[in-house]
Structure formats: C-alpha cells, structure tokens
Amino acid sequence: MHDDAPQPHLRLVTEKDLVTEAPPQSCDDSPVPRGVVLRPGNTEDGARRVLWVGSGLIGLISLLMVALLGRVILLQTQPSTPIASRIGSQHGTRPILARRGNLLDRRGRVLATSRVVKRLFADPGLIEEPGTFVERVGHELDYDPAWLARKIDRRPHSRYVALDTRLSDDRIERVKHFRLRGLGTQDHAVRDYPQGSLAGQLIGFVGADGLGLEGLERVYDRDLIGRDGELRYLRDSGRRVLWVEQSAYATPSDGDAIRLSIDATLQHFAETELAAACNEFDAESGQMVMIDPQTGQVLAMANHPVFDPNLFRDSNAALRRNRCVTDTFEPGSTLKPMVWAAATQAGTAGIDEVIDCTESGFFVTEGGRRLRDAHGLGKLTWAGVLARSSNIGMAIIGQRMGAARLHQTVRAFGLGTTTASGLPGEVAGTVHPLHKWNHYSVTSVPMGQEVAVTPLQLAVAFGVIANGGELIRPSVIAAPATPYSPVLGRVLTEQTAELTKRVLRTAVSDPHGTGRRANSPLYEIFGKTGTAQVANPDGGGYLEDQYISSFVAGAPLERPAVVVVCVIHRPDKSIGHYGGAVAAPAVRRVIEKSLVYLGVPTLAAPDAIPAGSLVARE
C-alpha cells in the first residue's frame, strides 16, 4: 500500500482502460468508479461469453445426440410391429422341387418316375397389349396366336394362365432368350408312367399338386414325397434377383424309391392273357392276380379294361378302381377246395367215401332246397366230388359239417376280413355272421354262394392249399421296411394241404376234370374252376344268363411257385361261360409263361414245348 510494489489484488490499469466517455449502456456492473469503463475485451468478458454459450449449446447438442442414439438402439432392438414385419421383406423364396420317389418293379424296372418340366404361363394382369402379346409369343415360340388368345381370353382377370404345361426342350431354349412382360415359366414336377397302362390301377396316379390320389401312389405317398428345398434370394427394389443367401439354402431331399413285389414281365403276361380272354368271350371285365404262395408277394395284379395313369384326367373313376381288391364276387366253385380240405381234415368225410350225387343232377336237401349239378354225376368219391365239382356232394358234406364249423372254416381261410395287403380301398368281402345264417347256408356256402370275396382273397385262400396249409399275408412291397413273417397262421395240416393239392391236380389232369383245359404239358397245374351266377344287385336271386367265370390254380405241384386267380365277369354265354372254358386256358398260358420266365424246370425237354404256346396271343 505504501510502497510501489504492485499488490497481488491490485492490477495495473493502463490509460487505455480508462475511457472518459459515458459507458455505452453496458451491462457491466463491476464495482468500478463511475466514469471508468472496463472494456469487455480486455477483461475477456466477450471471450468468456463465447465459451459459456458454446459449452451450453454443445452440451445440448450432445444430449440430443445421445437421445437419438437411444432411439436408434430402440429401433434396432424393439422395432414396432409394422417395421418388424418389413424386415427381411426384400427376400424372395423359390422352392427347389424334390423328386418324388420312383416306383419300381421287383427287378428294379421303373413303373413310375418324376421329372421336372417347365410350364409356360401368362399373367394377363401384366400384359400390356394382348394383341401383340399373343402375336409375339406365337411367333417366337411357335404357337398358334389364335389358340393363345383363346386361352387368355377365357380367364382375362386371372393372374396365371397356363399356356403350355410341358414345354419342349426346343421351346425352353427359345424362351430363355425371349423376355416379354406378362410371360413366365415355372418349374413343376410331373409324374411319368413309362410302362403306360401296365398295372395302372394298382399304381394309381398323382394329382397336379404332387400328391398321390389313388393306388400305391396314395398309400405310399409319405415315403414317396420328398422334402422340397428352398432357395432364399435377395431382390432389389426392381424385383431383380441379386444373389442367393447361402445360409438360408435348404437342400431338397428326394423321396424314397419303392420297390414293388410286382414283376413287370409277369404283370404283362397276366394283362395280355386276361385281355385276350376277355376279348375272346366278349366279357365285361376281368381280373387276374398272381401271388407267390410261399411269401405272399403279389407278382401280378391285372385288371381289364386297362387304365393308363398317364392319362388319368381322361379316365372315369370306375376304370381306375383296382377291382382285384375293391370289388367282390361270389366265388362259386372256386371256394369248394377250402371247404373240401377242412372237411377232410376234420374227418367229416373220408377221401374214399362215396357220395351219391344223383344220376339226374337234381337233389332236394332236407331243408327243401333244390340243388343242381351241371351234369348228372352219379356216385362219386369225396375226392371226385371236388374234381368234378359237384354241388350236390358239397352240399351233403356241408350239412354234415354244420353251420358253425363251416363258418369257422370260411373265416379261417381269411374270407370276410381284408388280407392286410395295405392296398387302398381293399374290402373285406362278405361272410355273414353265424346268427344270420339260415338253413340254406350250410348248402350254399360249400359251393361258394352267400359269400363274397375279392380276387386277392381267393388267391390267398388258395395259397393255403398251395403252400402246405398256412395262411399268408399278401404284400405288394418287395422288401417291407420292417421284416415280418408273412405267415398269419396254420389252417391246414401239411398232409391235408398236400392231399387237396393232388385232388385239385386231378381236376386239371383228368380228361373229365372241370379244369382240363388248364392242363399243361410243361407244368403240373392244379386248380379249380368256378362258374357263379351274378347276384341280382336289387336283392335276392341271380340274374339270368349273367355269369362270373373264374379259375384258380397253382403250379408246379411240388412246391408251387405261383398261384393265379382269374375272374372274368359276364362273358358272352353264347361263346362260353364255364370257368373251365373261359378262365382256365388263360390261367394255363399265364402259368406256363411265368414259370418259364421264373426259371422253373419244365416237365418235358424244352424242344417238346409246343410251338407258339409261350407267345402271347394277339
């Protein structure tokens, strides 16, 4: 204070700091004497103000930026529903078609296969000028423009009009280099049946959506259908494909191939002979089933008229039915071997017992029923009753057996229940329950009336006799997924079965046997004919002159390899109607050819085979 040294709380004020003029309304209210103004610049007020204002503003901006960052994180972690729904919408997906599994015959020959074809379609909604569209498409791809125009005009408001469902290779090549708004191609799988109508009803067919609709195609749909793959690709806003997303590529897995027990060659033999027989006798329809009696494998299953699954759209539903399992018929005499064998095994009748079948061929049962044989047969042994197919003889023994045993017998042979073959639409047939049987039944059933069977059931029942007494389960699959024993149970003793087989052999080999027309120089065929009247569908009784001619046979006698059932519906009576006349020759030819094909040794040397017997009749 008293010396000249500046004090710390004092500062040097230069003359510049002092302005004598009045202060310019400054807000400065620093405690300085009036008349002395401290200039803001010198006291760094201006610079400090910049700093404070700047700090405040930048702080505010920073806060807002952090808030926006929060908004970004919120958007990224919890987008609102309409936004979340748009995430990933820039992708398109395209299925990679999986191949449906093939159906093969037991030797691996293809019965049904799939391939991918291109379909040409138009989107009328995108067509700019319909006139020039059809003109250009017609010109470039070689179609009739008028035909195209008609197709499009039929559904002008549709977004998808198929122009060509199976583009030819040539057109595929051309359409690749031909771009036109409203025209597109699409892959789709089609099912081919390279064997045409072969086993058509058995195989069934596949609908446009790739699902099996009938036959084995439907039964094994789950195995046959593959799993479609998927291609996920990125599109730009112009819908152009940019690239395929590697991570989202789902490989398609093709369906499994299924090997059937059917042998295409045997099927062909059966079909041609069946067709020949049906045509020869002007029959309405016919079925032929061939099974291996030892394993139950169905080797052939033929229907006439035939059905071509390639053309299923043009067929009617009745034709598509596999009548070998869906339709029943009264077996008539073809049921006699089963009843005969059961009665013999039970001791109801001895094999050499003589039964009076009347000379006249007419017989009135105790119940008052009138029975008739085709011819008066006189006294026959029990074996002869079967070999000559006497209704009267069977009725007498049937009465002796009684209803309960008869019913049990018929059921034991698998009649009245499905064969568990797994074929679609298989029916159980008809065996009336015991309490519905009347006093006629014991005479009707032994000769094959009052029961209804499918051709397959008949083959299986006959298979019991052929394979030594065991009821087997038929199968159309060559190698079932889970191994199982085809044997369902024993019905006959081996001796009884052997005996029945030999008696049935006489029915064929005996010049008077009903099945003599099935006698073959190559193989020992045993079999039974059947001629049933067609039951009146309107109820009671039978239709006049309407017959079902059937023949069931096995061969060779020792260890039979095949059992063949042939059923021919409504042959023209003026040509022939007995099973022995209509069905037996066809069965013989099928057996001869099949066994040769299967390599079963013939009785005679090969050069003794009559010429032409192995050639299908045209």
Partner 1 sequence: MPRSGQIVQLTVLALLGLGTVVVYSAGMTVGSGRSGLAGLMQHRHGVYAILAVVAMLFTSRVNVRQFLKTRRVVNPLSGLVVLALALVALALVPGMGRSVNGASRWLYLGPKSWGLSFQPSEVVKWVMVLAIACWCTRRRGVMHRITDGLLPPLILLAVACGLIVLEDLGTAALIGLVGVCTLIAGGARLRHLAMACPAAVAMVVWAIARNPYRVQRLTAFLNPWADPLGSGYHPIQSMVTIAQGGLTGRGLGNGIQKFGYLPEDTTDFIFAIICEELGTAGAVLVIGLYLILLWVGLSIIRDCKDTFGRLLGLGVLLTVGLQALINLAVVTVVVPTKGIALPLLSAGGTGWILTAAALGLVASLDQSEDARDEPTPTFPTQPTRRWLGRWSGRWTGRWTGRWAGIPWRLPAKPTTISLRTD
CA 256 to chain centre: 12
Q: Is 82 in the site for partner 1 (CB under 8 A)?
A: yes
Q: Is 481 in the site for partner 1 (CB under 8 A)?
A: no
The nearest distance, CB 224 to partner 1, in angstroms, is 38
Select from 2, 16, 222, 436 the one that contacts partner 1 (CB under 8 A).
16
Q: Is 364 in the site for partner 1 (CB under 8 A)?
A: no
Q: Are 397 and 406 in contact (CB under 8 A)?
A: no
Structure-token pair, residue 528: 């039974």
For partner 1, how many residues bind (rule: CB under 8 A)? 61
Q: Is 6 in the site for partner 1 (CB under 8 A)?
A: yes
Select from 46, 108, 480, 489 the one that contacts partner 1 (CB under 8 A).
46
Q: Is 49 in the site for partner 1 (CB under 8 A)?
A: yes
Select from 26, 279, 495, 536 the one that contacts partner 1 (CB under 8 A).
26
Structure-token pair, residue 186: 């699409």
Name the phi and psi angles at 94, rounded to 5: -140, 130
Task: Identify whether 24 is preceded by a cis peptide bond (ω within 30 of 0).
Answer: no
Q: Is 179 in the site for partner 1 (CB under 8 A)?
A: no
The nearest distance, CB 2 to partner 1, in angstroms, is 11
Cα diameter, the chain: 175
The nearest distance, CB 35 to partner 1, in angstroms, is 12
Nearest residue (CB) to partner 1, 57 versus 311: 57
Q: Which residues pair with 550 in a beta bridge?
A: 530, 567
x-or-dash string of contact with partner 1, 218-257, rule CB under 8 A: ----------------xxxxx-x-x---------------
CB atoms within 10 A of CB 365: 17
Task: Sort strands 241-244 and 229-235 into parallel, antiparallel or unpaired.
Answer: antiparallel
Q: Is 430 in the site for partner 1 (CB under 8 A)?
A: no
CA dist 452 and 542 (Å) reads 14
Q: Are 285 and 455 in contact (CB under 8 A)?
A: no
Q: Is 93 in the site for partner 1 (CB under 8 A)?
A: no
Structure-token pair, residue 347: 């001791």
Q: Is 44 in the site for partner 1 (CB under 8 A)?
A: yes
Question: What residues have CB less than 8 Å from 356, skipping those under 6 apart?
Answer: 378, 379
Q: Is 79 in the site for partner 1 (CB under 8 A)?
A: yes
Dihedral (CA of 52, 55, 61, 62) sign: negative
CB atoms within 10 A of CB 184: 17
Options 24-32, 448-456, 551-559, 590-598: segment touching partner 1 (CB under 8 A): 24-32
The nearest distance, CB 233 to partner 1, in angstroms, is 11
Question: What residues have CB less than 8 Å from 88, skipping those under 6 apart?
Answer: none
Select from 2, 29, 34, 41 the one that contacts partner 1 (CB under 8 A).
41
Q: Is 81 in the site for partner 1 (CB under 8 A)?
A: no
The nearest distance, CB 94 to partner 1, in angstroms, is 17
Q: Is 318 in the site for partner 1 (CB under 8 A)?
A: no
Structure-token pair, residue 591: 């057996």
CA 522 to chain centre: 38
Select from 58, 211, 311, 604 the one that contacts partner 1 (CB under 8 A).
58
DSSP per residue over 204-272, as a string? -EE-TTS-EEEHHHHHTHHHH--B-EEEEEEE-TT--EEEE-STTPBPPBPPPPEEBS--HHHHHHHHH
Nearest residue (CB) to partner 1, 21 versus 352: 21
Q: Is 15 in the site for partner 1 (CB under 8 A)?
A: yes
The nearest distance, CB 57 to partner 1, in angstroms, is 6
Dihedral (CA of 458, 454, 274, 535) sign: positive
The nearest distance, CB 126 to partner 1, in angstroms, is 18
Give me the residues that bind partner 1 (CB under 8 A), please.
6-7, 9-16, 19, 21-22, 24-27, 32, 39-42, 44, 46-47, 49-51, 53-55, 57-58, 61-62, 64-66, 68-69, 71-73, 75-77, 79, 82-84, 86-88, 90, 234-238, 240, 242
